[in-house]
Amino acid sequence: MDTGRGRAATVEFDHVSKVYGPTAAKAGRAAAPGAVNDLSLAIPAGRICVLVGPSGCGKTTSLKMVNRLIEPTSGRILLDGVDAASREVTDLRRGIGYVIQQTGLFPHQTIVENVGTVPRLLGWAAPRIKERSEELLGLVGLDPAKYARRFPSQLSGGERQRVGVARALAADPPIMLMDEPFGAVDPIVRERLQDEFLRLQEELAKTILFVTHDIDEAIKMGDLVAVFEQGGRVAQFGTPTELLAAPASDFVARFVGADRGLKRLSLSRIRDIELRPAVTGRIGEPAGEARRRALADPLPYLLLVDAQERPVGWLRDVEIEGDGVLTEAMAIPMSPLLSPETTLKDALSMMLDADVHTGIVVDRAGRVTGLVTTEVIGGFLREPVQAATAKHQPGERKPAEP
């Protein structure tokens, strides 16, 4: 399936300013309060860069300057190194996907016509447009047989947003601009659209500028996050982890919220941290030897496992009888089971729910691979950012260009 994998471009804001109002623009006073002031930002190809900030801080303005719906008052925007201002404007726009909160779907056209909009502008042949449109509908999870002939008014909010995304992807643009694309749907649908979009992006690897005012969405969606403050100034630009672990200013700290520690936990998974080795004893093993091993470890418990190394329950080390063998009957109920994919936030939450301090990490086959304790998680939060291995580290994903 030609989903356009790998077609991505860099986007660079180079000292870009925008002052609304003809007088202010003409006067060109340096002190004039612009909507965007001297914005410089370099976004690598194939990444999602989220512009986040309070309402009215210039996110939309910045976004619209990329496809020149708004012309900068000064400065340049480079797409793959080429100044956007030097391109023919409609040509430029046809090469940039654009998704807005209200979807902007054309109410008088069917879904399949809506999706085929840009290919039609580009003069593709009708059969190719149809094929591409249906392929894209499938890609965003809408059955073409069911949806193609409908009109936007016959779709739910979430479905409309999917069509909006499909339409923006139609001509396989290297860059996508998304202005609060999931802002108009309810939280549950939003979450699903976010997840689906992230999965799609894994495959597409487009360069995406994503505007939101919701810090949680920013942290979830962004490989990189630019926190805007009033006047289109970037208060901090970095990975979500950097933002949460080391806010650059009071403004950023307040914007990311007092719970930024917890938010960081949702960014990292069990596989990202160093596990405590588990002291295990197999069912049927001589008890004395197991007891000795358990007592040597600071944790006052021995983890009882079955023949396949799958956890069965805990044994308190001092209570293990010196003779005989380990049996299932001795075990007390287990801590929560965690997988390497579990986020630290979920892990902590499960441990608190079960009123224990230790979680058992198992692999796909259910075999014990180690333990997580609340102290380990606390220690993770105290580590400096550079050491934290989060999924969003910029160096982690290879850039898409060769």
Partner 1 sequence: MIDWLLDPAHWSGPDGIPVRLIEQVGISGISLLIAAAVALPIGVWIGHTGRAATLAVNAANIGRAIPSLAAIGIIAPITQAFDPELGFKVYPTLFAMIILAIPPILVNAYAGVAGVDRELVEAARGMGFRERQILGRIEVPIALPVIAGGLRSATVQVIATATLGALFGFGGLGRYLVDGVAQNDDGQLFGGVFLVAALALVAEGGFALLQRALTSPGLRRAGSSSGVEPA
The values of phi and psi at residue 10, to 5°, are -80, 150
Among 5, 6, 20, 25, binds ligand ADP (CB under 6 A): 20
161 binds, among Mg ion, ligand ADP, partner 1, none (CB under 5 to 8 A by kind): none
Binder to ligand ADP among 23, 55, 86, 308 (CB under 6 A)? Answer: 55
Q: How far is the CB of 66 from partner 1 (least distance, A)?
A: 10
Nearer of residues 32 and 295 to ligand ADP, judged by Cβ? 32
Q: How far apart are the C-alpha atoms of 394 and 90, rounded to whole Å?
A: 33
Q: Alpha-carbon distance 183 to 210, whole Å?
A: 12
In whole angstroms, the minimum distance from the beta carbon of 60 to Mg ion comes to 3
Token digits for 343?
A: 């986020």
Residue 247, SS3? coil
In the bound complex, what is the minimum distance in angstroms from residue 148's beta carbon to Mg ion? Answer: 31
For residues 77 and 84, is the Cβ–Cβ distance under 8 A?
yes
Instruction: Determine which residue in the list 17, 37, 61, 268 makes contact with ligand ADP, applying CB under 6 A.
Output: 61
CA distance 220 to 356: 28
**Cα–Cα distance for residue pair 370/342, rounded to 1 Å:** 14
> What are 42's two structure tokens?
């370099």
Region near ligand ADP per CB under 6 A, out of 57-65, 88-96, 351-359, 378-386? 57-65
Distance (Å, whole) CA 374 – CA 370 = 14
- Among residues 276, 312, 313, 314, the alpha carbon closest in space to that of 297 is found at 276
344 interacts with partner 1 by CB under 8 A: no
Of 60-68, 87-95, 118-126, 268-276, the window that binds Mg ion (rule: CB under 5 A) is 60-68
Q: Where are the beta strands (DSSP E) in 204-325?
A: 207-212, 224-229, 233-238, 280-282, 301-305, 311-316
Tokens of 141: 């999870």
Q: Which does 110 bind (CB under 5 to 8 A by kind): Mg ion, partner 1, ligand ADP, none?
A: partner 1
Retrieve residue 344's tokens.
């630290």
Provide the minimum distance between the beta carbon of 98 and Mg ion in the complex, in angstroms, as a whole number: 14
Task: State the Cα–Cα distance between residues 166 and 161, nearest whole angstrom.
Answer: 9
60 sits near Mg ion (criterion: CB under 5 A): yes
Interface of this chain with partner 1, residues 101 to 160, rule: CB under 8 A: 102-110, 117-118, 121, 151-154
Q: Using the 8-state DSSP alphabet, how is residue 67 labeled?
A: T
d(CA 147, CA 134): 9
23 contributes a contact to ligand ADP by CB under 6 A: no
Residue 56 touches which member of ligand ADP, Mg ion, partner 1, none, C-beta under 5-8 Å by kind: ligand ADP
Question: For partner 1, which stretch binds (CB under 8 A), given 14-22, 87-95, 314-322, 382-390?
Answer: 87-95
Q: Judged by CB under 6 A, which stretch of 59-67, 92-100, 319-327, 360-368 contacts ligand ADP?
A: 59-67
Choose one: 54-62, 194-202, 270-278, 330-338; the region binding ligand ADP (CB under 6 A). 54-62
Under 8 Å between Cβ of 41 and 155? no
Distance in angstroms (rounded) separating the CA atoms of residues 311 and 306 = 7
Contacting residues toward ligand ADP, per CB under 6 A:
20, 35, 53, 55-61
Contacting residues toward Mg ion, per CB under 5 A:
60
Contacting residues toward partner 1, per CB under 8 A:
64, 67, 69, 90-96, 98, 100, 102-110, 117-118, 121, 151-154, 167, 177
